[in-house]
Amino acid sequence: MTLMTAEIQKNVWLEFSLHRVLGFFAVLFLVVWTHQAFGSGPESLSKTASHLFILLVLVWGTYRSAHCMSDETKARTWDWQRLSAISPWGLAFGKLIGTTLFNWFTGLFLLSLYAWAALQYLPMAQVVMNIALFVLGALLSQSAALLASLHVLCHRPYVSPRGNNIVYFILGLLVSIPFFNSIQMKMGFPPVIEWYGIFFDKSQFRLQFGFLYFIWMWLGLIWYMRSELKMHTGPWLWLGFSIFHLFYVAGFEGFGPSVPTVLFMSSLMLLVGSVLFGSWNGESYKRFLIQYNNKKYLTAADHFPAWVFSLILTGIAVIVNQVSEPANGLIYCTVLFYAIRDIAILHCFKLNRRFRRPIGTTLFYLFMLYVLIPVLLMSMKLSDYVAFICPFGGFTIDQQTLTMRPMACASGAIQALALSFYAYKVWKNNWSTHNQS
């Protein structure tokens, strides 16, 4: 296998113009010369080099990653690549590294300059750690931006990818923040972090888990490329990532809430994320059922909604809480029922062909259910009735312990059942038999 893939070759031809390369070296020379001329120390030079790395590789690179898919679709060159013989791995590599090739070229020199300056006042191990954090932070940032843009391209092709580029860009930058927080620029005792009762150096911990999260992002990029190349994907990657993420967050005991509570909150967040941003819709449900009925299980799995796994994991988290903290069990049960109700509301709008903005409409209804109506009821001194609308209204403090009123749980269960049934009716009316040949 050659690393000079078509994408890399294209970027070498397009990006590495003589003017650009000379311009970069002129800036680099100017930086070093200015520091020498003004007699600034190596600390100042290493900081300038790291700031330039952040600007050129992290910020500009993430900007380019956020734009690369929309540029391809706008230039109508994406179909060529989808029809090529390049593997999903090769396409992911080409897009992630190829698009930012010039940025990484500048990054190589900037990191060399950083290392040369930093080694004059920091131990070798710390410099290596910082460089690894720089590289990983930039890779994670670029991967996150590319992943978000690929997600929209694959599953919401009707959304203008160009308009969302700024969102992918900001998302990418946000991902990298923890890495740059852990970079040690000065000598000193590194802070530690406790995970599953073991104490880790904070930078090392972030580097190791950052690397593992980068692997998941990389797998995510390959998953999306497989989807674009019309290869089987299935929902297994999301399940694997969810289990990994829950294992990771469960390790932070002693930071406040108990492990079962952290598990529940994290699985609930994954559920919300997969429902709101997942690729499911009436068409994918229908495709799943058709392929399933035709006994094409592998193809059917490609259309299986990933949020179902998140719902199952949230259900397991409720059971774990029920077993470990029976007194609080009702709280988690109630929250789950209301979550199912909210998922059903979204289904009612999303499965209805008439609604053009189902997520926006659902969020408006949820705002009414969670904010507007409870505030109105409370201002009318009818606080007891809030429990019928959202789980927060059902909380009571009994002997300094937070408990849930059974009425809120029963109300949540009834609403979840009723709206799920209604969502099923909407599905039947809009997708089950409608528009058949």
Partner 1 sequence: MIKVQSLDFEYFGKRVLYGVSFEVTRGSITALVGPNGAGKTTLMRVIAALETPYSGTVSVAGFDTVEQGREVHKRIGYLSDFFGVEPDLTVRQSLILAGKSHLIEGAQLHECVNQALAILEFTEATQNQKAGELSRGWRQRLGIAMAIIHKPELLILDEPASGLDPEARITLASVFKKLQADGMTLLVSSHILAELEDYCTEMLILREGRLTQHAASPNQRLQDIYMAQVANPS
- By CB under 8 A, name the binding residues for partner 1: 2, 4-6, 9-10, 13-14, 75-77, 79-86, 158, 229-231, 282-283, 286-287, 290, 294, 296, 298-299, 353, 435, 437
Smallest distance, partner 1 to C-beta of residue 77, A: 4
Q: Which CB, 38 or 158, lies closer to partner 1?
A: 158
Nearer to partner 1, 297 or 421 (CB): 297
- Beta-ladder partners of 192: 201
- Smallest gap from Cβ 90 to partner 1, in A, equals 9
Nearer to partner 1 (CB atom), residue 100 or residue 267: 100
The nearest distance, CB 11 to partner 1, in angstroms, is 11
Given the structure tokens 């993430």, which residue do they identify?
Answer: 62
Is 92 strand, coil or helix?
A: helix
Q: Could you tell me the end-to-end alpha-carbon distance of the chain, in angstroms, rounded to an integer?
A: 47
How many angstroms separate the Cα of 55 from the Cα of each of 20, 51, 62, 173, 258? 16, 6, 10, 11, 40
With H, G, I as helix, E, B as strand and everything else as coil, classify residue 283. helix
Inter-CA distances, 123 with 115, 188, 190, 191, 192, Å: 11, 11, 13, 17, 18
Q: Mind spelling out the 3-state secondary structure of 317-379?
A: HHHHHHHHCHHHHHHHHHHHHHHHHHHHHHHHHHCCCCCCCHHHHHHHHHHHHHHHHHHHHHH
* Contact between residue 49 and residue 117 where contact means Cβ atoms under 8 Å apart: yes
Q: Give min distance, CB of 349 to partner 1, in A.
A: 14
Alpha-carbon distances, residue 19 vs 118, 328, 428 (angstroms): 30, 66, 62
Helix (H, G, I), strand (E, B) or coil at 223: helix
Query: Which residue's CB is nearer to partner 1, number 76 or number 381?
Result: 76
Closer of 51 and 74 to partner 1 (Cβ): 74
Considering beta carbons, is residue 204 or 299 the nearer one to partner 1?
Answer: 299
Report the nearest approach of partner 1 to the CB of residue 158 (Å). 7
The C-alpha atoms of residue 332 and residue 235 are separated, in whole angstroms, by 26
Tokens 């507007």 belong to 372
CB 179 within 8 A of CB 72: no
Nearer to partner 1, 80 or 255 (CB): 80
Measured distance CA(138)–CA(99) in Å, rounded: 13
Cβ 110 to partner 1 shortest distance, Å = 27
Nearest distance from residue 357's CB to partner 1, in Å? 14
- Whole-number minimum distance, CB 222 to partner 1, in Å? 14
**Residue with smaller CB distance to partner 1, 3 or 380:** 3
